[in-house]
Amino acid sequence: MCCFFVVLVSAGPRVASIIWWLVQPIRWSLAFGSVIWPILGIIFLPWTTLFYLIVFPGGVVGLDLLWLGIGVVADVASYTGGAARRRDLSYYPANLP
């Protein structure tokens, strides 16, 4: 069950972004000027890319920055989530040469 959750959290926003891109390509082309930014967003910052697409139509003002911040925090947490647990394990070397 834990592995299923990890796969869902890591692949979920990427799959959702690709499906959304296929369903509404006009929204993606309006939000991002070229095709390279959405591809990089899907690969490296999937949650932030999704949140940006949600808040983009009205412009990024006010509480929209909060939503983008939540997306950035979710992306950073998905990349660094296991670091604290690895320090607690006695058999995992803490300091590698």
Question: What pLDDT shows up at residue 80?
Answer: 82
- 15: tokens are 């799959």
**pLDDT (tens digit, 9 = 90+) per residue, 17-40?**
999 999 999 999 999 988 999 999
Identify the residue with better confidence: 61 or 93. 61
* Averaged pLDDT of the chain: 83
Per the CB < 8 A criterion, the answer to whether 28 and 38 are in contact is yes
Pair 67, 55: CB distance under 8 Å: yes
* Per-residue pLDDT at 53 exceeds 60: yes
* Euclidean distance between CA atoms 90 and 92, whole angstroms: 6
For helices 46-55 and 2-23, the axis angle rounded to 10 degrees is 40
Q: Which two tokens stand for residue 41?
A: 């967003």
Residues 2, 46: Cα–Cα separation, whole Å: 21
* Whole-number pLDDT of residue 44: 93
